[in-house]
């Protein structure tokens, strides 16, 4: 799988390691200006393997880096959010049921070797210098039953206002913008274009659904991905044009692209 991201995204895979307690082999890479982490199970009975057995291959979680983990935990507890896993001084995982399906990891550490932490990191690497044409941060979409309740929760929890200018990826959706990424909650509409979203919600409940990356020229991105032998689909949803990769080629992760100009 890492060969896919290296070849297609010109991804910088800067860290590979194993976590025996979770039964997983991990790799972290930067594509554009966003870091992604891939998990592969080494023990089917532990956390990573059990998650795949239960839910299938998919997007798993989002990691937020904060200035002070202890202070973040105080805020988490003030909001009554359960912590499902804790490594003192390292990270905490929050219960997805308390976060409207968002499996959220909070840490005050950075990955060792992350190129974005280097003093000579060139932000242009995340703006058009990558072959896919990614020019900004991702939209992380979660499917939920109640968009208003979910968006009110995350806005209150983080103190971030709802983004009134967000172009939702589905008919029914709202988002908050954190600058380098947006989190969007969507619910299926009665339209057939939301059949896949509806099926996912029925099968898995509220959960992380897709990641959308903005690119400068959607047709150029489509041509490039096709040249790599990938199956791409052009769709129009909620008034926006997308290029979508076949999830079978991305190990179950629904990855799509939208044309958006950013400075």
Query: Which CATH number does 128-259 carry?
Result: 3.10.180.10
Residue 226 is inside which H or E element, if any? Answer: helix 218-227
pLDDT at 33: 77
pLDDT at 6: 84
Q: What percent of the chain has pLDDT over 70?
A: 95
Per-residue pLDDT band for 53 (boundaries 50, 70, 90) equals: confident
CA distance 244 to 256: 4
CATH superfamily assigned to domain 2-117: 2,3-Dihydroxybiphenyl 1,2-Dioxygenase, domain 1 (3.10.180.10)
In three-state secondary structure terms, 157 is helix
The HSE-up count of residue 50 (CA atoms within 13 Å, CB side) is 6
User: What does DSSP assign to residue 24?
Assistant: E
The CATH 3.10.180.10 portion of the chain extends over 2-117, 128-259
Q: Which of 24-38, 186-200, 238-252 has the lowest mean pLDDT?
A: 24-38
pLDDT at 2: 72
Highest mean pLDDT out of 37-51, 106-120, 186-200: 186-200
CA distance 125 to 127: 6
pLDDT at 262: 54
Q: Which of 101-115, 121-135, 142-156, 218-232 has the lowest mean pLDDT?
A: 121-135
Computed over every residue of the chain, the mean pLDDT equals 89
Residue 22 is inside which H or E element, if any? Answer: none
The residue-averaged pLDDT of 219-243 equals 95
pLDDT at 80: 96
Does residue 263 register a pLDDT over 50? no
Does residue 124 register a pLDDT over 60? no
pLDDT at 160: 97
Q: What percent of the chain has pLDDT over 90?
A: 59
Per-residue pLDDT band for 234 (boundaries 50, 70, 90) equals: very high
In three-state secondary structure terms, 116 is helix
Helix residue ranges, H only, 62-211: 69-78, 147-158, 195-204
The HSE-up count of residue 205 (CA atoms within 13 Å, CB side) is 10
pLDDT at 128: 54
CA distance 102 to 94: 8
pLDDT at 248: 87
Structure pTM? 0.91
Note the pLDDT tens digit of each residue in 168-178.
999 999 999 99
Between residues 195 and 250, the one the model is more confident about:
195
Those residues with Cβ within 8 angstroms of residue 120's Cβ, 6 or more apart along the chain or in another chain: none
Contacts from 259-263 at CB under 8 Å and sequence distance 24+? 259/214, 259/215, 259/216, 259/217, 259/218, 260/135, 260/136, 260/214, 260/215, 261/135, 261/216, 262/127, 262/135, 262/136, 262/214
- With CA atoms as reference, report the closest residue to 168 among 183, 149, 152: 183
Note the pLDDT tens digit of each residue in 81-98.
999 999 888 999 999 999
Q: What angle do CA 225, 138, 230 make, to 5 degrees?
A: 15
Does residue 100 register a pLDDT over 50? yes
Q: Positive or negative CA dihedral for 163, 166, 172, 178?
A: negative
User: What does DSSP assign to residue 144?
Assistant: -
């Amino acid at each position: 799988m890492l060969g896919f991201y290296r070849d297609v995204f010109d991804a910088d895979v800067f860290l590979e390691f194993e976590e025996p307690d979770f039964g997983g082999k991990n790799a972290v890479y930067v594509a554009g200006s966003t870091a992604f982490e891939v998990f592969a199970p080494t023990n089917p009975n532990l956390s990573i393997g059990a998650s795949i057995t239960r839910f299938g291959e998919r997007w798993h979680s989002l990691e937020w880096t904060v200035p002070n983990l202890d202070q973040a935990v105080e805020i988490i507890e003030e909001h009554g959010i359960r912590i499902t896993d804790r490594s003192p001084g390292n990270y905490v995982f929050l219960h997805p049921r308390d976060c409207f399906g968002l499996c959220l990891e909070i840490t005050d550490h950075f990955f060792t070797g992350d190129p974005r932490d280097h003093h000579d990191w060139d932000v242009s690497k995340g703006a058009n210098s990558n072959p896919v044409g990614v020019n900004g941060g991702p939209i992380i979409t979660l499917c939920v039953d109640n968009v208003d309740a979910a968006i009110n929760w995350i806005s209150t929890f983080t103190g971030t206002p709802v983004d009134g200018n967000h172009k939702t990826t589905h008919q029914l959706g709202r988002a908050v913008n954190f600058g380098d990424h947006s989190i969007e909650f969507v619910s299926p509409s009665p339209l057939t274009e939301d059949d896949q979203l509806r099926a996912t919600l029925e099968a898995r409940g509220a959960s992380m659904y897709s990641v959308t990356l903005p690119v400068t020229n959607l047709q150029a991105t489509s041509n490039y991905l096709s040249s790599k032998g990938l199956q791409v689909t052009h769709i129009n949803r909620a008034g926006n044009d997308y290029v979508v990769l076949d999830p079978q080629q991305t190990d179950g992760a629904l990855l799509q692209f939208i044309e958006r100009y950013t400075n």
